[in-house]
Amino acid sequence: MDRRQFLTTTGAVALATAAPRALAQISGNDDARLSAAFAAIFERALDLSPMFVTSLGLDKGARAGAKSQLDDNSKSGMMKQLAATQAAIKELEGFEGAKLSDAQRLNLDVILYALGQQTVAPARFGLNSVQRPYRIFQQGGSYFRTPDFLNTAHTINNSADCEAYVARLDAFADNLRTDTALQRDEAARGYLAPGWSLELTLGQLKALRSQKAADSSMVQSLVKRAAAKGITGDWQGQASALVEKAIYPALDEQIAAIEALRGKTAAGDGVWRTPRGDEIYAAALKQATTTDLSADQIHAMGLEQVADISAQLESILKGAGYTSGTVGERLAKLNVEPSQLYADSPEGRAALITQLNRDVDAMKAKLPQAFATIPDTKLEIRAVPVEIQDGASNGYYNRAALDGSRPAIYFINLKDVGDWPKYGLGALTYHEGVPGHHLQISTAQTAGDIPMLRKTAFMSAYSEGWALYAEQLADELGGYATPLDRAGYLQSFLFRAARLVVDTGLHAKQWTREQATDYMVEKTGFARPRCQREVERYCTQPGQATSYKVGHGVWTKARAAAQADLGDAFDLKQFHAVLEEGAMPLSMLEQRVAARAKAAKA
């Protein structure tokens, strides 16, 4: 599961609630009634999403049964989620005239906003998500999500956990067949990924299918983890039988269906090629950015920022001796310098991950300069699993379980180590690790005085904007040791600015995948395979890529406004303490930062 979809693809996620400690601290009858409403809604949400239960580490005790189940991915399951969300909205709208504390008013506003966004795709378009409009594609579908989920989210500590894993393998076969049937139905309505996406999907499906059942990653994940815990039983035999007799036949059916459909998909690469595609993209932009910015406004913003960041890089590269060619061409030369590359070998990949861990540890030592509260949530850094690396993102983050039973994971795609020159790795780690996603999400999850929705919400513009701000903050904290390291940070910003141009180009201006990739290579200097993987993500997940730079702009604007208001009294640690209030739409973030500055002055 990509951390960017944690709260944008599942209706249940938007129905979170107040934690027990928060309930104990709430005063006022209306506040208490609202918290009780949150609690009831949350329980109903958990009932509808066993995978959400596991992702939060709540699949124990009274909810242990959830560990044997997967989410209902059928159309009726989607409609149940929609009905639950609509019922929650109606219930919570009854509190709009209530006498609430400022904190509970903010909670209500954010939750109602999130719930409203959750209804858009199913109610207006009959789809699961406007940001992921295709049922099966190179980064979406049960085939892509479930093996990774079982390997990273499903913990193995005893024989009951092993039995639950086997039960989920059985359920996986059913979900594959459901996906296949629904993809046929949605294709008939005009919602089918571009042809090249289906080709990539087929490659990944066949790679998953080609392994001997006993040697498959799905089986070995269970076998190895059970052995490590000394759990006896014929887990390989049970799991292999299910893979061979249930999952592989379901994969065969899905492969055959995608092969039959791939010649029927509409031409083009953007979501404009689908029925009501322009409406879907407008909704995706609103959801991704939590703003009303139009595609044209975002496109213009991107062009301006690409020019500005390129000018900053010009100076650094010239000082480092890279003087000929465009900024993109000079970055491309730097990217292939032997001194900048790890060996394309298991040892080289291991050395790369070792360096990432060093960067995390070094930045952790600097965090007390800028943060008063620093969670100690464990972070692991892993390579993207080989069987999905062809279609997976270049890097992504999975949150830890709420109870600490499972660490957070920062994944990096090491299909080609040439994608990762050394001078750019620091910025990536500060984005995905600390002070980026890991610090922000862990801070919210461990905050004591906010509802669970505020603990677990992932609003892309807020969280991705923060992660880019974190790259900038790392610069202030001395995280980039050399001018070239700082060039890597600016190249990261250039990459995200180019995304504004590319995403809107693909979906609003009917750019082709090749045209978008050409632009990305020309402007950023990243290797073409890496750029193409990114563009392919934007093609099939409209809007999401715009959230980074739009969100970053609001974070920096909010900080600048607070500094101007407070002057010498501005406290960076107190500004960053807003993270403890959880994710929220950008307009609400600006309001909260302003209110906190006003309170600090008083």
- Nearest Cα to Cα of residue 388 among 537, 524, 270, 242: 537
Cβ-based neighbours of 152, under 8 Å, separated by 6 or more: 398, 406, 409
Residue 51 clears pLDDT 80, i.e. is over it: yes
User: Which pLDDT score is estimated for 25?
Assistant: 41
Residue 100 clears pLDDT 60, i.e. is over it: yes
Residue 466 clears pLDDT 70, i.e. is over it: yes
Query: For 372-396, b where at least 16 C-beta lie within 10 A, e where not — what string?
Result: eebbebebebeebbebbbbbbbbbb
Q: Coil, strand, or helix at residue 451?
A: strand
- Give the HSE-up count for residue 379: Cα atoms under 13 Å, Cβ half-sphere: 28
Predicted confidence band at 387 (pLDDT cuts at 50, 70, 90)?
Answer: confident
User: Which pLDDT score is estimated for 353?
Assistant: 97
Predicted confidence band at 28 (pLDDT cuts at 50, 70, 90)?
Answer: low
Q: Is the dihedral of CA 496, 543, 8, 386 positive or negative?
A: negative
Question: For a pLDDT cut of 90, what percent of the chain falls above it?
Answer: 88
Cβ-based neighbours of 370, under 8 Å, separated by 6 or more: 435, 473, 476, 477, 572, 573, 576
> Residue 259 and residue 239: Cα distance in Å, rounded?
28
Which amino acid, 377?
T
Tokens of 307: 């020019």
pLDDT tens, residue by residue, 515-527: 999 999 999 999 8
Residue 13 clears pLDDT 80, i.e. is over it: no
Cβ-based neighbours of 341, under 8 Å, separated by 6 or more: 417, 418, 421, 422
Residue 6 clears pLDDT 90, i.e. is over it: no
User: Which pLDDT score is estimated for 373?
Assistant: 94
User: Which pLDDT score is estimated for 119?
Assistant: 98
**591 near 469, Cβ under 8 Å?**
no
Is 478 exposed, middle or buried, given 0-12, 13-18 or 19+ CB atoms closer than 10 A? Answer: exposed
Residue 9 clears pLDDT 90, i.e. is over it: no
Predicted confidence band at 188 (pLDDT cuts at 50, 70, 90)?
Answer: very high
- Helix (DSSP H) and strand (DSSP E) numbers for the chain: 25, 3
Tell me the average pLDDT of the chain: 93
pLDDT tens, residue by residue, 212-262: 999 999 999 999 999 999 999 999 999 999 999 999 999 999 999 999 999
Predicted confidence band at 457 (pLDDT cuts at 50, 70, 90)?
Answer: confident
Cβ-based neighbours of 253, under 8 Å, separated by 6 or more: 176, 177, 180
Which of the pair, 188 or 27, is modelled with greater confidence?
Answer: 188
